[in-house]
Amino acid sequence: MALQEVRVSILPHLKDPSGEGLLYEIRQSLGITSVEKVRTVKVYRFEGIGEEEARFLAERLLCEPVFQHYTLNRPIITDASRLIEVAYRPGVMNPEAASLMKAAHDLGVKGLLAADSSVEYAFYGALGPEELELIIKRLLVNETIQHVLETPPRTLLLGSEPGRTQIIPIRQMSDEELLALSADRLFLNLEEMRLIQQYFREKGRDPTDAEVELLAQTWSEHCAHKTFKAKIIVNGQEKPPFLTRLRQATEKVGREDLVLSAFVDNAGVMAFYEGWAICGKVETHNAPSAIEPYGGAATGSGGVFRDVMGTGQGAKVIASTDMFCFAPPDTPPEEVPPGCLHPQYLLRRVVAGVRDYGNRMGVPTNNGSVHFHPDFRAKPTVIVGAYGLLPAARAAKGKPLPGDAILVVGGRTGRDGIHGATFSSAAMTDRTLHVHSQAVQIGHPIEEKRMADALLAARDEGLIRAITDCGAGGFASAVGEMGAETGARLYLDRVPLKYSGLAPWEILLSESQERMVVAVDPAKVERFIELCRFYNVEATVIGEFTSDRRFRVFYGEEQVVDIEMDFLHRGLPQRVLSCQWTPPERKEELPPPPVELGEDLLCRILGHLNVCSKEPIVRMYDHGVQGTNALPPYGGVRGDAPNDAVLLTPLLGKPYAVVISHGLNPILNRLDPYWGALWAATEAVANAVAVGADPRELCLIDNFIWPVPEGEFLAWLDRAVDACVDFSLKMGLPFISGKDSLSSTYRSGELVIHIPPVVCISAFGRLPDVGRTTSSDFKGEGNLLVLVGARREEEMGGSVYYELRGIESLNLPRVDLELLPSVMNKVHQAIAGGSVLSAHDISEGGLFTAVAEMAFGGGLGAEIVIPEESRPDFFLFNETAGCFVLELKPGASPEELFAGIPFLVLGRTLGQPVIEARQGDKLLFSVDLEVLLAAYQAPLKEVFG
């Protein structure tokens, strides 16, 4: 029976949003102006049914006649200048295909053997062949997973023989041959390759390709954290490993009443209320997002959701966060390095990936930030986080027992994602986009949603002994780590595949999405599978845990892996890394004051990319799904004022709240990573405190995204870790989870680009009463404004103000750690006591920006009174973290509320929508609020519309 083709398109007289979006990218990212219009068509193909069934599906499932029309087995657009169809390559999983099959079955269509979908693009205008080729390569096709479909397929049913296991003759290889084997595939150094060689020489045999790949994955920087576990020698003095320092700080802080699990599971866990716990994990997906931003970012979200789902015996994902660093969207195309994508395209597609995964899975994305610097033009930083809710009694990491069944749950296994862990551990080059495009996974959020529901039901029935995410390294990592203390036998021929033809090592290493690995008591396997079937989730027994402490992997009768767990997990020697740190000279002359402090400068501050409104991004995310959102990302009378943190009430009907916040400042890290990291940690906690959180009821998560840590960059990393440790000890706050990503260097010939080092600190915690919190928007006219916190106004290094004036300075803001705990506690007490009507912490843009954002929210103005002894520009634009602007309730006494800590009565709120600043009798400026708001909102409106 011939394939049935259904084409669906927007009605001709209506705008095509997908086509308009592509046209924007063509003009903005590629600079091509010859394309006048773009229309898109969804093409659906079905095998095994006739025309009537296909027509039925078109009318009942695929086409909405209010704004769409369809054709059956004929073109729908015939007047385009160019018409191309982009489809997944044969054998690559199309996430829509399974949904089409399921929907057709639910509608009663019988006989359907296979379904697929693709997209036709119709271009109008004088588009030349070279321009079309550029559009295809840069915007439409990832060469490994997609292609331009020249002729329609004759069948959707594919089959091929599985690849054969190969023997790698490693015992006889020279050093040069070992390095050649490692290049572009294993990313291990010569010492590590020699260890593998020696191991198999002692075994008297050569390894299989699966064994070599298994070891490379397990020993990768991404999975083994070799740098964070290394001995560090700074200026000739040995220091404990980075990870040891962070763990020791948490142990010294203690907080057994708060911390239930730290650094041992997929996410850190802290106590909540009434027998519940909350967990958090923040991950990076920089390398995949650099080469395929939509898929890389989407599967970053999906992966961190599964980290939460795989914590304890399983948690419900209740929130998502995203923190991004890009080059400016208006970066000239000639400044984009070879093999890299344009920053504006990266930004738009990364946002789309996070949006689609979270929205489709029903997880609110409600906290995040976007930061810009030119040196992110080669490799962006894409950070995604997730937070979950689980019973405290099921919060401990599960351990499999010998004899437990190994089950894979969720999606099927394909070739997508192979080498994701190893390639993410290496520096990016001009070849990465082409050599490693197969490392990007393909996400299917609906599959993950079904799996999440099934796993929660299984957890509540006590069916799960242990569970983990099948992420980086696939089964090699998930089964290898779960069975590290027992042993495991894995049968790859039992693994459900998306398509045939995979070699055993590819099945073992694949990072295909939406899969979890679960250890289940053999007596409970039948019920577990039955429960998964009820939720339309595939669950398959693929092996068992043993007691021989060996990892043995089979494909049919062939044994493809036999390695001792001890060598796999402990055979890698501890690295010893050395570096030198020379403190920078801070003494410098202060620049002269600006000629004028007026509307133009204020609008430039608010319109700076690191200050401006990120609302166009936030509005793409559903932050209200699940019905728990108690404080939205943007609030106020018109919904355009940013709040500092998110508040959720995950136990419906209860007043208990979860608070989530974060902080990062890559600009400061370039100047001095110690003070930059301290700023980030302070910002994370200050954001939480500004909405009412008790700083003693928080836990921290660290993320280090770094250039390849060699030379000075290793010394910078050492400084940043020390700052996190000092902050933890002084504030009494534990780090309970973290992640390092140490490969954000780009090399191509003579061109080397290092990203500004990123330290992202996330904070999450508990509040007993969501009613005793506040937001950032002004609440009324004539209320007192108070600046609370310690700052040295002349510390302006790294500020937006200095950047706009072209001033480079190492005199960056230094947080006073001795005073900080008192400041945080006093602010919290004032909010909890009901004396504070609105609160906002000071960050990028300084005090003026904080006041302006509060004014936007209330639709009210503000009068700022600058002390006579202060320099006005420093007073307004200093960016010291840990300082707050508070709007006090009438009658509240700042002298009583803030006794013993630095504070200053700043001014009052005004009824008229203007922001004024005075010093003595002099009015420095009076600027209309709408003028400031327009400047604040303009930059990302231009990018996202």
Q: What is the pLDDT of residues 336-375, one digit of tens each?
A: 998 888 899 899 999 999 999 999 999 999 999 999 999 9
Alpha-carbon torsion angle 191, 197, 203, 205, nearest 10: 170
Q: Which residues have a Cβ under 8 Å from the Cβ of 392 and sit 6 or more positions away?
A: 260, 271, 272, 275, 276, 277
Report the amino acid identity of residue 777: D
Q: Which of 222, 373, 662, 840 is catalytic?
A: 222
CATH code at 453? 3.90.650.10
d(CA 782, CA 768): 31
pLDDT value, residue 646? 96
Report the amino acid identity of residue 160: S
pLDDT value, residue 341? 87
Q: For residue 923, is it within any domain?
A: no
Query: Do 41 and 72 reside in the same domain of the chain?
Result: yes
Element (H, E) at 175: helix 175-182
Give per-residue burial for 507-521: e unless 16+ CB within 10 Å, then b: bbbbbbbbbbbbbbb
pLDDT value, residue 417? 58
Environment class of 547 (CB within 10 Å of its CB; exposed 0-12, middle 13-18, buried 19+): exposed
Dihedral sign, Cα of residue 172, residue 174, residue 175, residue 180: negative
Q: For residue 424, is it within any domain?
A: yes
d(CA 667, CA 522): 54
pLDDT value, residue 471? 76
Q: Which of 13, 105, 285, 754 is catalytic?
A: 285
Query: Do 418 and 441 reside in the same domain of the chain?
Result: yes
Mark which of 572, 603, 621 sits at the end of a domain: 572
Task: Say which residue the tokens 């044969």 belong to.
Answer: 90
Query: Do 549 and 435 reside in the same domain of the chain?
Result: yes
d(CA 646, CA 549): 45
Residue 777 near residue 321 (C-beta atoms within 8 A): no
pLDDT value, residue 287? 81
d(CA 372, CA 609): 7
d(CA 1, CA 142): 32
Query: Do 529 and 410 reside in the same domain of the chain?
Result: yes
Query: Catalytic site residue 608?
Result: no
Query: Do 106 and 219 reside in the same domain of the chain?
Result: no
- Tokens found for residue 652: 């419906």
d(CA 358, CA 381): 19
Q: For residue 433, is it within any domain?
A: yes
Q: For residue 332, is it within any domain?
A: no
Q: For residue 855, is it within any domain?
A: no
Q: Which of 433, 480, 470, 547 is nearest to 214 (CA)?
A: 480
Report the amino acid identity of residue 399: K
Binding-site positions for Mg(2+) read 283, 307, 469
Residue 622 near residue 614 (C-beta atoms within 8 A): no
Query: Do 9 and 136 reside in the same domain of the chain?
Result: yes
d(CA 329, CA 772): 40
Q: Which of 554, 561, 551, 474 is nearest to 510 (CA)?
A: 474
Query: Do 170 and 56 reside in the same domain of the chain?
Result: no
pLDDT in tens, 702-753: 999 999 998 899 999 999 999 999 999 999 999 999 999 998 999 988 999 9
Q: For residue 732, is it within any domain?
A: no
- Count of beta carbons in the 10 Å neighbourhood of residue 592: 8
d(CA 230, CA 246): 13
Domain span holding position 466: 163-238+399-572
Binding-site positions read 281, 283, 306-307, 441, 469, 511-513, 702, 738, 741
User: Collapsing DSSP states into helix, strand and coil, what is residue 23?
Assistant: helix
pLDDT value, residue 159? 66
Query: Do 52 and 97 reside in the same domain of the chain?
Result: yes
Query: Do 92 and 190 reside in the same domain of the chain?
Result: no
Q: Which of 702, 666, 760 is nearest to 327 (CA)?
A: 666
CATH code at 33? 3.30.1280.10
How many domains would you assign to the chain? 2
Q: What is the DSSP letter of 167?
A: B
d(CA 830, CA 897): 6
d(CA 469, CA 388): 14
Query: Catalytic site residue 222?
Result: yes
- Tokens found for residue 246: 């962070």
Q: Which residues have a Cβ under 8 Å from the Cβ of 891 and sit 6 or more positions away?
A: none
Query: Do 74 and 213 reside in the same domain of the chain?
Result: no
Q: For residue 589, is it within any domain?
A: no
DSSP output for 871-930 = -HHHHHH---TT-EEEEEPTT--HHHHTTTS-EEEEEEEESSSEEEEEETTEEEEEEEHH
Mark which of 542, 572, 602 sits at the end of a domain: 572
Residue 861 near residue 799 (C-beta atoms within 8 A): no
Mark which of 539, 572, 605 sits at the end of a domain: 572
Query: SS3 sequence, 183-228?
Result: CCCCCCCHHHHHHHHHHHHHHCCCCEHHHHHHHHHHCCHHHHCCCC
pLDDT value, residue 184? 66
Q: For residue 791, is it within any domain?
A: no
Binding-site positions for substrate read 306, 441, 511-513, 741
Residue 416 near residue 442 (C-beta atoms within 8 A): yes
Residues of the chain where predicted confidence (pLDDT) is lower than 50: 419-439
Percent helix, percent strand, percent coil in the chain, to nearest 5? 35, 25, 40
Helical residues (DSSP H) of 607-653, grouped into ranges: 615-618
Query: Do 57 and 89 reside in the same domain of the chain?
Result: yes
d(CA 624, CA 365): 9
d(CA 71, CA 51): 11
d(CA 307, CA 316): 11
d(CA 784, CA 788): 13
Residue 783 near residue 893 (C-beta atoms within 8 A): no
* pTM for this model (two decimals): 0.91
d(CA 629, CA 884): 24
Contacts 24+ apart (CB under 8 A), 504-507: 504/162, 504/163, 504/165, 504/210, 504/553, 504/555, 504/558, 504/560, 505/165, 505/208, 505/209, 505/210, 505/213, 505/214, 505/560, 506/163, 506/415, 506/418, 507/413, 507/474, 507/475, 507/555
In DSSP terms, which residues pair with 631 in a beta bridge? 647
Task: Say which residue the tokens 């002994």 belong to.
Answer: 465
Binding-site positions for ATP read 281, 702, 738
Query: Do 211 and 63 reside in the same domain of the chain?
Result: no
